[in-house]
Structure 1
Amino acid sequence: MAKEEGPNWDGLLKWSLSHSDGTRPTRQMSEEDRKWFAEAMQSQTVDVVKRLKEITQVMQTPQQVLEAHQVTSQDIQDLLDELQDHVESIDLANDLHSIGGLVPLLGYLEHSNAEIRAKSADVVSTMVENNPRSQQSVMECNGLESLLLNFTSDIDMHSRTQALGAISSLIRNNSSGIAGFRTANGYTGLRDALESDSVRFQRKALNLLHYLLQENDSDCDIAIELGFHGLLMRLVSSSDADVREAALRGLLDLTKDRKHCICGSTIKKEDNEKLRQILQERIEGISFMSPEDLSAAKEERELLDSLWIAFYNEPSFL
């Protein structure tokens, strides 16, 4: 399928350059120039909306019809790449639902091709990031449920990871999204992600866990009950620096203003001893680092020191 070109801005660029050579103040627009510029901008906006409608029409077309017209999976991925560029604009992201494009986009989360499932989740993530209106639209179209299914059950790790990224964007600063995530056993999905062998999946899960524990202190109990403290302790020894830092941050989240959750009867005594040993080993490992590595590990050192103080009421050896 030939990929149509997006808006051509050459005319606007030439016009802009003709009004400023970069060496002197820009002259005032005449009324005629102002009118021309407004009309040009309007025409380009209309062209983009038209293109969104064309992409929507393709997404609404049954798979067998697309295949009969020799539209490949790569063609669909290219189309989703273009759509993602468009919905980086909040206005265009919000327009997508009104022209009928959101529902078929969410339908692609169930596509037989894993790369298309992953890419559609990526587009949704771009749409809803810091965009309450699009967040609401996706929630109303049951997008959270579809993303959660891919996050927890997809056989393809890349698709699972992209679904988690979209969930993270969808539920941030979205109380109904957070409630839906919690009700749908989203924390169990996060626990499974931390148990996976994918570092990228672990990172995304840890970042979302940190956000959720910061937003809802009471979720500490859920995390402890599901055994997150044990997983976080294991990840403190990860070979990936970002995972180590995020795991330390997660443990600190579980101890702040609720130390009894970790140090009290909820956690076994042997777990406390194990944590002490893990932290001590990490502290000793850092003490042998070169000056350059020490500088790169600054945040990890600060997190280790904070945890040591929280648990043992004394500074660490760092």
Structure 2
Amino acid sequence: MAKDGPDWDGLLKWSLAHSDGTRPPLAYYLENLDSCGLAGKVYEEERKWFMEAMQAQSVDVVKRMKEITLVMQTPEQVLEAQGVTSADIEDMLDELQEHVESIDMANASEEDVQVVENTSTEVCSTDLHSIGGLVPLLGYLKNSHSGIRAKAAEVITTIVQNNPRSQQLVMEANGFEPLLSNFTSDPDITVRTKALGAIASLIRHNKPGIAAFRLANGYAALRDALGSESVRFQRKALNLIHYLLHENSSDCNVVSELGFPRIMMHLASSDDSEVREAALRGLLELAQDKTSGGSDGLGEEDEKLKQLLQERIKGISLMSPEDLGAAREERHLVDSLWNACYNEPSSLRGEGLVVLPGDDAPPPDVASKHFEPPLRAWAANQEANRAPGTEKKEAAPLLLGFSPQQPETPHVQSSSSGGEDAGQRSTPR
């Protein structure tokens, strides 16, 4: 193609970079061709180039993933003999995680690719399992280096997140067991935290996974996690507890019997705001189960809870305006929990601290200018750059009947042809 034509390589990168997160990159590209200097339809030669470039990029990714798979399949002693260090393996897993994400993006675009051209989707449908990389990746969960164990769990999180097929493949490959083992008993807190994150993604919207977690005494492990000194570990455990209770209200009995309410009350006074909010969210789930006629909810802990809420209400009342804004979620949770337990609004509502002025206002739009479609941005710039007084005047509408009489002026200067035309069309009385 000619040198002065469109920058196709740049266009490909642009189409991938400007996906808005809800539409596949190719669909976004097709909708915004004009903003790249292309008018009208995509011609056959251009479309063929784009498809080949997309496929070539995917082929390169899959090729590299196969090379990484070969390394993962190589015994650790052989790698050490070749001078490969644990840091090298961690870097390799970082790269693998990026490639897995790019393959997911290609899978998301597969339908639109078929709309543009009926090409093979073999590259797009390729995943880590199909090239033999899933099993050795799961094997890294048992590696002697804690950094590799943690990074492997992080890659698995990326693979299974919101992906039912990948969740099934990991479960079938017995990936749940080593993740649970690392979560419950690994000596490294980072490994435990990453394993818990992977488990949370693995069992989310996955009934067999939830069942396996419950059978493996997962709630007892979550209780132990709440007693950790690691704030990140506590947050992940509380978030998973809330999800499980929300999805399975019958589990409220289990967590109450295991003593979760007392632990959550302690964490509701944590110095970390996210831990406080997550603990209050779990307590609210238990309280709502009680009011709906389920379990005993908080049981004997009701009085302690009331004291806790009174302390939180007092603390919120003393907050500065800036801190009150940051504590929006906590304010709502405290009020909702009080109302669920005692069938009346909290004193925060009477003081006007549950909903503050501006709480319902949309957040400031600081990102749209960076992510808006280029065509829209170009149009906005054209409007902004247009000099005052240069706008094209609209033609005067034709009137039926006589025009109203205008006062006569000694001199009439026409600044535009539109004025002259209007004078020529005046109807004498």
Q: TM-score, normalised by structure 1?
A: 0.90
CA contact (8 A) 1:73 1:113 kept: yes
**Once the 2 structures are TM-superposed, how far is the Cα of residue 41 of structure 1 from its aligned partner?**
2.1
Structure-1 residue corresponding to 2:189:
157
* Unmatched tracts of structure 2, length 5 or more: 1-6, 15-32, 108-123, 349-429
1:296 Cα offset (Å): 1.2
Which position in structure 1 is the counterpart of 2:97? 84
| Counterpart position of 1:71 | 84
1:221-260 aligned within 5 A: 221-259=253-291
Which of these residues, 308, 319, 341, is aligned with residue 289 of structure 1? Answer: 319
Q: Counterpart in 2 of 1:308?
A: 338
- AA at the equivalent of 1:317: S
Task: Please report how far the alpha carbon of residue 256 of structure 1 lies from its aligned counterpart in structure 2 after TM superposition.
Answer: 1.0
Q: 3-state SS of the aligned residue for 1:100?
A: coil
Matches within 5 A, 1:100-249: 100-249=132-281
Greater helix proportion:
1
Task: Tell me how far apart the structure 1 counterparts of residues 125 and 200 of structure 2 sit (CA, whole Å).
Answer: 17
Q: CA, structure 1 residues 66+289, in 2 after alignment: closer, same or farther (shift >3 Å)? A: same
2:198 & 2:125 partners in 1: Cα distance? 14
Question: 1:60 is matched with which residue?
Answer: 73
Following TM superposition, by how much is the alpha carbon of 1:22 offset from its aligned partner in structure 2, in angstroms?
A: 4.6
Which blocks of at least 5 consecutive residues in structure 1 are unaligned?
1-9
Letter in 2 for 1:307: L
Show CA shifts across 1:192-222 (max 9, x none). 1111110000000011111000100100011
CA distance in 2, matches of 1:49, 1:103: 17
* CA-CA distance at 1:24 after TM superposition: 4.4
Secondary structure at the residue paired with 1:87? Answer: helix
Q: Distance in 2 between matches of 1:112 and 1:120?
A: 12
Cα deviation digits, residues 228-256 of structure 1 (max 9, x gap): 00110101110000100110010011111
Native 8 Å contact 2:253 2:295 kept in 1:
no
Structure 1 residue identity aligned to 2:230: S
Provide the secondary structure at the position in 2 that maps to 1:314: coil
Deviation at 1:272, TM superposition (A): 2.1
Corresponding letter in the other structure for 2:143: H
Report sequence identity in percent.
64
Q: What is the CA–CA distance in structure 2 between the aligned matches of 1:15 and 1:257, rounded to whole Å?
A: 52
Aligned residues of 2:184 and 2:192 also touching (Cα < 8 A): yes
Query: Higher Cα Rg: structure 1 or 2?
Result: 2
Change (3 A) 1:29 1:245: same
- Native 8 Å contact 2:226 2:233 kept in 1: yes
Higher mean alpha-carbon deviation, 217-226 vs 274-283, is at 274-283
Q: Residues 226 and 302 of structure 1: is their aligned pair in 2 closer, same or farther, counting only changes over 3 Å?
A: same
* Cα distance between partner residues in 1 of 2:208 and 2:295: 29
- Per the normalisation by structure 2, the TM-score is 0.67
Cα distance change, pair 93–246 in 1 and its aligned pair in 2 (3 A): farther
**90-99 or 162-171, larger mean C-alpha shift:** 90-99
Distance 1:275 1:23, change over 3 A: closer
Amino acid at match of 2:71: V
- CA change 1:134–1:183 in 2 (3 A) is same
8 Å contact from structure 1 (residues 93, 127) kept in 2: no
- Match of 1:256, SS state, is helix
Aligned counterparts of 2:258 and 2:163: Cα–Cα separation in 1: 31
Q: CA–CA distance in 1 between the matches of 2:305 and 2:205?
A: 33
Measured on the aligned residues, the alpha-carbon RMSD in Å equals: 2.2
CA distance in 2, matches of 1:276, 1:15: 59
SS in 2 for 1:258: helix
Conserved 8 A contact 2:225-2:234 = yes
Letter in 2 for 1:228: F
